[in-house]
Amino acid sequence: MEDNSLFENNEEQASHNELSSITHVSGMFKNWFIDYASYVILERAVPAIEDGLKPVQRRILHSMWELEDGRYNKVANLIGNTMKYHPHGDASIGDALVAVGQKDLLIDCQGNWGNIMTGDSAAAPRYIEARLSKFGLEVLYNPKTTNWGVSYDGRNKEPITLPVKFPLLLAHGVEGIAVGLACKILPHNFIELIDASIQILKGKKAMIYPDFPTGGIADFAEYKDGLRGGKIKIRARVKELNPKTLIITEIPFGTTTSSLIDSILAANEKGKIKVKKVEDNTAETVEILIHLQPGISPDKTIDALYAFTNCELSISPNACIIEDKKPKFIGVSEILKVNTHNTLALLKSELEIEKHELEEKWHFASLEKIFIKEEMYIDFKKYGDKETLFTYLYERFAPFKKKLIRAIQDEDLNRLTQIPMIRITRFDSIKVEAYMKELDEKIAQVKHHLENLVEYAVDYFKNLKKKYGAGKERKTETKQLETIIATEVIMANEKLYVNREEGFAGKSLKKDEFVCDCSDLDDIIAFTKDGKMKVFKVADKVFIGKDIVHIAIFKKGDERTTYNMIYTDGPKGITFMKRFNVTGITREKEYDLTKGTPNSTVHWFTINPNGEAEKVQIILKPVSGLRKFEIDVNFADLQVKGRSSLGNIVTKYAIKKVVLTHKGTSTLGAEDYWFDDVTHRLNRDERGTYLGKFAGDDKILTITSKGFYRLYTYDVLNHFDDDIIMIEKYFPKQVLSCIYFDG
């Protein structure tokens, strides 16, 4: 019994030890993970709001300043020097250095630094060189206002943040992924940032939007100040070079010409667009030529490029920064405000330091003047130690206290005793007076700047714009972009077939009746002999119902297409006639166009794209007592109603057949069209300038500022020139007059 008890106690102790170990390990894992996550957020992925730099960028720029001598340095040397500050290896430093250099703001690059347009990488670090730009030297550095810390190994000191006197974070933009946290601040325009900073200094609100180095066209309607949940729609600049060729001259931010062409070729392979050939002639500027297949509309292809390729992208910003050693989500307008006030504080600090230094120079010059003029140095031999000598000097300077700007200190006296005799013998009181007067003027100027600090900061920003703003104009066009419906612009890449008797339709029934070309995104509408209707997605094979009377591509929201129908309710029921539209439906649901009585029969069914109303004659089966066997029907006498309406009664007798007596004409008038001045597109939603009613072969006339005119159809997919000065409905007999300058 004793042995068993001992065994049980040992087992319990082992179990307890094992549980303690598990608890200890899980606790360590939790603490280590939090430490790791904090390190990645604070020291790697997210920029500080003070200077807008990640630690690796800050260390690179500090290292470049440390080596700065006006000449280019090999990037390999810069990387090597930075490694004493950054503990993560040469590859991360090299990549970060190239990324900063490609922004063309802080670093003056020499050699092949890659191409952000094509995605080509930079040459090896041993082949390329760099030095700080003049702008970088002016706005990034001032050891006197820099907060210094110790490097990771304790051997060197490095800046905690650089004293950046410019909204660098917004100019550069930044992207980083940390543990459970992401940051994406988009780049903004240099000139616009300066103008906005001046507005903030003047107490006004400033709104800024991103500007991308790749250009393009962007819609910032949902930007939401760069906060989480915002969105930017950005497009490549695609134009019609000629009816058979499109040209891309600017690409969306975040893409390259290579990735863009790959997306175009992929869409072409899937049949969503039809392209003959793509050429990349990009050098200093983007030039991608897209050659179209014969008969393909350039306007529709442009929209298809936006819908199915990287020619249009959606970018989601996420403005996150480090402030007080904590990640914080704030809008770009708030970031700009903080940066502007930080610049103001740095300028004030620099002025105060300059004022102090000038006053110190004035103070010592005044002491030196009195010291030499009063010949205080003559009696030095009477005093054998520093204490008695300083006591003597304090007594001699006592009558002159009111002429000084501060009290005399031992350090001042120590400097006076170090003046060499040759300087005393060559002392020129006139030059000293002139020097002190010059210092007085400088001190007065600095005091004036401090008293009018905002005006001084405004002038500072204006000077930056004047010195460095050339060539930094906005590249991205801000524009409201229309939404492109993919089903309207996708190319017909499939063929639809139908077996009417058995009731099947789809892409795979190649031995059966061909219906039309279609696309993978299309919906198909079908009607059967028993009065059923169904809408379904294009597929290989779908069962609809036996005896299909009509099948076609379905256009959602189409209020012009009208269906004319005559049907008998059940085998011996009443015959009705109706006109209806089909605008909205639930896909794959079967709808009854009759009363729903089993074995109902459709005798007449037509599809009319412009609401045409034909005349027909209904021939009845012979019945005793029936005097009239023909009934003339004019569908124009019926109102167009919903698909669920029963319709008007035609007859209670059995029908033999229905024959057409007169082809239908449209019962709908011409359609109204408007031109949206913002998106430069046509619409029927009453947005923009009213152009008039259009039908048949009507055309639209446009005249551009360069003196060209062009006739367009009224297709809503048309793309119009950006520089049109007149757009209106075209009347062949109308006379136009113009005044032009023959350049």
| Residue-wise pLDDT tens digits, 614-669 | 999 999 988 877 778 899 999 999 999 988 899 999 999 999 999 999 998 888 87
Reading the block at residue 658, the tokens are: 């229905």
| Residue-wise pLDDT tens digits, 563-588 | 999 999 998 899 999 999 998 888 88
127 catalytic residue (yes or no): yes
CA atoms within 13 A on the CB side of 248: 34
| Residue-wise pLDDT tens digits, 272-296 | 999 999 999 998 899 999 999 988 8
Look up tokens 């930075």; give the residue: 82
Predicted TM-score (pTM) of this structure? 0.82
Strand partners of residue 210: 188
552-to-117, 514, 520, 525 alpha-carbon distances in Å: 44, 11, 14, 6
Is the CB of residue 592 less than 8 Å from the CB of residue 602?
no
The amino acid sitting at 95 is D
The third-level CATH classification (topology) of the domain covering 235-314 is Gyrase A; domain 2 (3.30.1360)
**pLDDT at residue 281, rounded to an integer:** 92
Percent of the chain predicted with pLDDT > 90 = 63
**pLDDT at residue 70, rounded to an integer:** 92
CA dihedral of residues 394, 396, 401, 405 (deg, nearest 10): -70
Per-residue pLDDT, averaged over 11-36, amounts to: 60
Distance CA 42, CA 130 (A): 28
Per-residue pLDDT, averaged over 422-439, amounts to: 87
| Residue-wise pLDDT tens digits, 322-369 | 888 888 899 999 999 999 999 999 999 999 999 999 999 999 999 989
Domain coordinates in residue numbering, the chain: 1-38, 46-160, 235-314, 348-454, 555-666, 671-729
**Integer distance in angstroms from the first to the last C-alpha of the chain?**
117
- Residue-averaged pLDDT of the chain: 89
Is the CB of residue 65 less than 8 Å from the CB of residue 142?
no
| Residue-wise pLDDT tens digits, 29-39 | 667 666 666 65
The third-level CATH classification (topology) of the domain covering 46-160 is Topoisomerase II; domain 5 (3.90.199)
DSSP conformational letter for 455: H
576-to-326, 480, 617, 655 alpha-carbon distances in Å: 75, 49, 14, 11
Pick the catalytic residue: 36, 127, 690, 709?
127
User: Per mean pLDDT, which range of 36-45, 211-220, 268-277, 381-390 is the poorest?
Assistant: 36-45
More confident residue, 27 or 118: 118
How would residue 308 be classed by pLDDT, with cut points 50, 70 and 90? very high
